Amino acid sequence: MSLSVSMLLMLIALNRVYNQLLHILLEASYFEEFPTTDIYEECNAVLDRCITLHLAASKGYEDITQFLIQKKVEINIKDKFGNTPLLEAIKNGHDHIACLLAQVGASLTMDNAGICLCMAVAMRDSDFLRRVLANGINPNSKDYDLRTPLHLAASEGLYLIANLLLEAGASVFSKDRWGNTPVDEARIGGNKNLIKLLENAKCAQLSEFSSSFEENQGTYKTKILKCVIFFQMLV
C-alpha cells in the first residue's frame, strides 16, 4: 500500500491519541518508501506545533476529521499559538471541514482578533475575512492602536472589503487612539466612492440606533405604567 508523505504525517500525528497506530505502521513497513531522516525531521516539526485535529482540519482530511469527532476528541482545543481546528480549516480554505466542525459544536475564537483581521485587510484577503466573519468573529475587533478592520480598509481605499465589513456589522463610529473614525480615514484617502459608502452607512447606523433607542424608551415607559397601575390597585 502506498502512502503520501502528508498522509503518513497524519497517521503519525494520530499516534499521539492512538498509540497503536505507530506500531501498525512499523509492522507494515510503510516507512520503507521514504528516507528515514526526512520523515523524522518533518514529523518532529509537525508534532512540535500541531494537535491531531488541527492537522486534519488544516489539510482538509474529512475522513480523519470525522473519525476524530466520533472518538470525541476535544473540538475547540487550542494549539500553542491559540488556534482552534475550525480556524485552521478556515485559514486553509476547507469550507467542508469548517461546516463539519461547526455542525458538532465547534466555535471560532481568535486570540488578538483585531490584529488578525487587520492583517487580512492589509493582505486584501477577502475570502478569509468572509469566512471568519460568517463564523461569528466581531468585525469591530481592534488592534493595538484601537483601529478596526474598517479603519484600515478605509485608509487603503478598499471599497469592496469595506462593504464586506459593513455588511457584517462594522461600525463607522469606532475611534482609534488618535480619535479618527473610518469616515475620517476615507476622507484623508480621498476615494469618493468609498466616502459615499461610509457616509451612507453612517446615516443608516444612526437611524438604526435612533429606532432602537425609541423602542427601548417605549418599553421602559410601558413597564413604568404597569408598575403605577399595579401600585394603584394595591392602594
User: Higher-confidence residue: 218 or 104?
Assistant: 104
pLDDT at position 40 over 80:
no
pLDDT band at 47 (very low <50, low <70, confident <90, very high): very low
> Any idea what the CATH number is for the domain that residue 223 is in?
1.25.40.20
Q: Are 185 and 156 in contact (CB under 8 A)?
A: no
Ranges 59-68, 137-146, 185-194: which has the least confidence = 59-68
Per residue in 5-31, pLDDT (tens digit) is 555 555 555 544 444 444 444 455 544
As for how many domains the chain has, the answer is 1
User: What percentage of the chain exceeds 70 in pLDDT?
Assistant: 67
- Residue 103 maps to a domain: no
pLDDT at position 171 over 70:
yes
User: Higher-confidence residue: 220 or 65?
Assistant: 65
pLDDT band at 33 (very low <50, low <70, confident <90, very high): low
- Residue 179 maps to a domain: yes
Per residue in 154-169, pLDDT (tens digit) is 999 999 999 999 999 9
Q: What is the extent of the structural domain holding 130?
A: 111-235
The string of DSSP codes covering 1-42 is: ----HHHHHHHHHHTTT-THHHHHHHHTTGGGGS-HHHHHHH
Q: Which residue type sits at 175? A: K
pLDDT (0 to 100) of residue 199: 96
Query: Closest Cα partner for 12 from 83, 91, 4, 73?
Result: 4
pLDDT band at 46 (very low <50, low <70, confident <90, very high): very low
- Residue 166 maps to a domain: yes
Provide the whole-model pTM.
0.67
pLDDT (0 to 100) of residue 125: 96
Question: What angle, 0 to 180 degrees and rounded to 10, lies between the N-to-C axes of helices 113-122 and 126-134?
Answer: 150
pLDDT at position 89 over 80:
yes
- Please give the Cα distance from 174 to 162 (Å, whole number): 14
- Please give the Cα distance from 60 to 76 (Å, whole number): 17
- 3-class SS of residue 212: helix
pLDDT band at 80 (very low <50, low <70, confident <90, very high): confident
Q: Sign (positive/negative) of CA torsion 208, 182, 123, 162?
A: positive
pLDDT (0 to 100) of residue 71: 82
- Residue 122 maps to a domain: yes
- Residue 59 maps to a domain: no
- Residue 222 maps to a domain: yes
- Please give the Cα distance from 19 to 119 (Å, whole number): 39
- Residue 145 maps to a domain: yes
Neighbours of 25 (CB within 10 A): 16
- Residue 133 maps to a domain: yes
C-alpha grid cell for residue 114? 483585531
pLDDT (0 to 100) of residue 6: 55
Per residue in 201-231, pLDDT (tens digit) is 999 999 887 665 555 555 555 555 555 554 4
